[in-house]
Amino acid sequence: MTFVDVYSVLGMDLSDPKTTEEVAKRIPACDESGMILDFSGCIVDYPATSAVLDVAFERLDACKPKRNLILRFNINFDERMFIKWFFFGSQRLDLQQKIATDAEIRQKLLAGLGRLSMHLKIEVHGFCQESASVVHEYGQ
């Protein structure tokens, strides 16, 4: 899998939509099996962070189905917070409207992953990388 340390590539603050959208283009192409985006240490916020995910979806289009995307973060949150912060604002998932309920965001996430033939995991890492746990899993 292609590993991207988002903090190293894009910087810590992923809350400014225009800057993040431009810088996200630095995400490399992915290999055949998918991509790991490690957001540990980053400030994530919608809609800026969704621009990073849209670029990742674009890169993953080059992979054959079944595509895999793993998002890593260093702090655990409720599922609704993860999916809102990572995906609200995504053009690829049709979530660019101004207001959406948590249920609508989740529904569009699942529909989008189906269209993209993608499997998504959200993992949380502590200080020791070996202590990762899969917190949420979606898709194919």
Domain limits of the chain?
2-139
Which H or E run contains 119? strand 118-124
Check pLDDT > 90 for residue 3: yes
Check pLDDT > 80 for residue 103: yes
Per-residue pLDDT, averaged over 105-124, amounts to 90
pLDDT of residue 35: 94
pLDDT of residue 135: 79
Check pLDDT > 90 for residue 119: yes
Q: What angle (nearest 5°) sits at the alpha carbon of residue 106, between those of residues 103 and 110?
A: 140
Per-residue pLDDT, averaged over 97-120, amounts to 88
pLDDT of residue 111: 92
Q: What is the average pLDDT score of the chain?
A: 84
| Amino acid letter for position 100 | A
pLDDT of residue 4: 92
pLDDT of residue 79: 84
Whether the full predicted model's pTM is greater than 0.85, yes or no, is yes
Check pLDDT > 60 for residue 134: yes
Strands of the sheet with 67-73, listed across from one edge: 2-5, 35-38, 67-73, 118-124, 133-139
Cα separation, 79 vs 76, whole angstroms:
9
pLDDT tens digit sequence for 8-63: 888 877 777 777 877 788 889 888 789 999 998 888 888 888 888 999 999 998 88
pLDDT class of 96 with cuts at 50, 70, 90: confident
